[in-house]
Chain A
Amino acid sequence: MFTVPPFHKLQEQIQSAGDEDVRKSLRTAHLNTNDLAALLSPAAENHLQAMAARSADITALRFGRTTQIYAPLYVSSFCTNRCSYCGFSADNKIERCMLTLDEAEAEAMILHERGFNHILLVSGEAAAKLGAEYLERLALRLRDRFAAISIEVQPLTKEEYSRLFTAGITGVAIYQETYDRKTYKQVHLSGQKCDFDFRLDTPARAAAGGMREIGIGALLGLSDWRAEGLALGMHLAWLRKNFWRTALTVSFPRLRPAAGEFQPLSVVTERDLSHLIFALRLFDPDVGIILSTREEARYRNGMIGLGPTRYSAGSCTAPGGYSNPDTMGEQFAIGDHRTIHEVCAAIQEKGFDPVRKDWDAGFQLQ
């Protein structure tokens, strides 16, 4: 099982890196976690240009002049957890709803007509209401029409992941939110999500269950972003060693305004986010990096080709929001309100190909 070192140790390791360590890491072909620590250090801030250039080169070599496109599909906002930063937290008085299978299919078809081929099914964590069976039935309805279906829901068992994989779900996103146990305890007030170790072990269960792609991440704004980046790198390296067949992605969602009016515990600027993306790209040339509509259009346009490989577009974070744009009860307010066509046009403008299909259900269909 993956264990994360104490957060303060990670912070000390990062803070102790000097300019010479950064230069050495920048000259290294295969970076280890010591190199990653150096690249995340304050001393590395003087080398951001060089990191960006190398990140862009590696990204072009491994992923080409392309950016993948996907959309989230929120199926439920019910949640049994109380998490102080999240709009779906059980305490918040928001309009809640869970889509029926017919409603979810209708939402999916709207995304399909808009040109999406990769979708991410998202829900709050309320296992009694929405469990593996619902996801399985929905996947079986959708698998013929989408090239790839992923989920971002509560942690499941290995057996449930296997069952969902057989039903056509190929990817699982499960974010630790923070690798800092102290902060984790502070923001997760009650519910299953309070169990730090169970959540930390979930990517491994999903991979063991046969999932092709696992997404991990840290929610930025809870703790020290540098140490989160180092912990994420360690988690990635551990998953690579133990599940060599599994493709990996990372995401660094920055906290957005949401119901509950949680104020970030730490400020993470666009510069910090960019720094984190470049460092992770140099550390792991093959990891998919997701930059969602949490970020503004201006920033997302600027980052095309510099490290991120996958963009969401035209997102709505409330269940039923594609059929009815006036739907209330979103998880958080997004930062980029452009349609898929506008996002794709901006990607093309930058000399990149917006890729809507990069998988095929035919790999698994019996």
Chain B
Amino acid sequence: MLKIADKTFRSRLFLGTGKFSSAEILKKTIEASGSEMITVALRRVDLNDPADDIMNVLDRKKYLFLPNTSGARDAKEAVRLARLARAAGSGDWLKLEVTPDPRTLLPDPIETLKATEELVKEGFIVLPYINADPILALRLQDAGASAVMPLGAPIGTNLGLITKFQVEIIIDQARVPVVVDAGLGAPSDAALAMEIGADAVLVNTAISIAGDPVKMAAAFALAVEAGRGAYESGLGQKSSEASASSPLTGLDFIKS
């Protein structure tokens, strides 16, 4: 089972809550996904409003509520928002997003590291959203991040795992769980991320804007399980050429 900080998760599919057509559809989608970790943009909800439509569909007993700081331009803003959210009862878990470019929403590595250092000091369980940069992942791990969340492609692009090579290095090196976040456009993308050894994936746009989000969530859940199963069972090596079945030649200089 997946373990992040002190919590275990049966499902390795995490869900984002943006871009859904209604809170009702969101609720059904969460159920169909089997997900146990749900992220919500703090900018989008009012934690002090008991009637908030999104907060009302999240059963905090069933799902780990992972607030995120989407929209923060720098470390200061992210830290400020995190503190306010915790004061309003959002808990210690935090998906750290520092995205100063409103167009690509790509994460700022420098400010993300600064904010992680500060938030870890204050007792937050920090899961930073990062570009697929292996060294940054290690720096964040050293700073006390509880997992790292490299992107497959920029948020909301559905381009898939275009950062595969870099993500493989991160998976190879990291001690903390690696969650591939953002850009996964189809269940096959999620399966691929899981096959290469990601501990989990976080999906939002591909599900929320699908013709049938509920069905798509179930499809992603299956793909994540399939990918994980393949990883655990040990994928065979790929080869572009047929391998010779006769003994290797050309090595007869080696003394037997």
Distance in angstroms from A86 CB to nearest chain B CB is 31
* Contact of A364 with B77 at beta-carbon distance under 8 Å, contacts A64-B19, A245-B101 already known: yes
> In the complex the two chains form, what is the Cα distance from A240 to B104 in whole Å?
11
Distance in angstroms from B103 CB to nearest chain A CB is 5
The stretch that binds A, out of B6-14, B40-48, B126-134, B240-248, is: B40-48
Query: B15 an interface residue at 8 Å Cβ cutoff?
Result: no
Q: Are A240 and B103 in contact (CB under 8 A)?
A: yes
> In the complex the two chains form, what is the Cα distance from A71 to B100 in whole Å?
26
Q: How many residues of A contact B (CB 8 A)?
A: 31
Chain B interface mostly: loop
Q: Are B20 and A357 in contact (CB under 8 A)?
A: no
Q: Which of B42, B71, B103, B208 contacts A64 (CB 8 A)?
A: B208
Q: Are A363 and B72 in contact (CB under 8 A)?
A: yes
Query: B57 an interface residue at 8 Å Cβ cutoff?
Result: no
Question: What are the residues of chain B within 8 A of A117 when measuring CB–CB?
Answer: 46
Query: B158 an interface residue at 8 Å Cβ cutoff?
Result: yes
Q: Are B102 and A245 in contact (CB under 8 A)?
A: yes
Q: Are B81 and A363 in contact (CB under 8 A)?
A: yes
A-B pairs under 8 A by CB, number: 82
> In the complex the two chains form, what is the Cα distance from A60 to B45 in whole Å?
20
Q: Which of B21, B81, B157, B205 contacts A362 (CB 8 A)?
A: B81
Query: A365 an interface residue at 8 Å Cβ cutoff?
Result: yes
Q: How many residues of B contact A (CB 8 A)?
A: 29
Q: Which of A63, A247, A286, A353 contacts B22 (CB 8 A)?
A: A353
Q: Are A63 and B19 in contact (CB under 8 A)?
A: yes
For B87, the closest partner residue in chain A by CB is A362
Question: What are the residues of chain B within 8 A of A362 when measuring CB–CB?
Answer: 42, 80-81, 84-85
For B19, the closest partner residue in chain A by CB is A64
Question: Which chain B residues have a beta carbon within 8 Å of chain A's beta carbons?
Answer: 18-23, 42-46, 71-73, 77, 80-81, 84-85, 100-103, 156-158, 205, 208-209
24 contacts between A and B (CB under 8 A): A60-B209, A61-B156, A61-B158, A61-B209, A62-B156, A64-B205, A64-B208, A65-B19, A65-B21, A65-B209, A66-B20, A117-B46, A212-B102, A244-B103, A245-B73, A247-B103, A351-B21, A357-B45, A360-B43, A360-B81, A362-B80, A362-B85, A363-B72, A364-B80
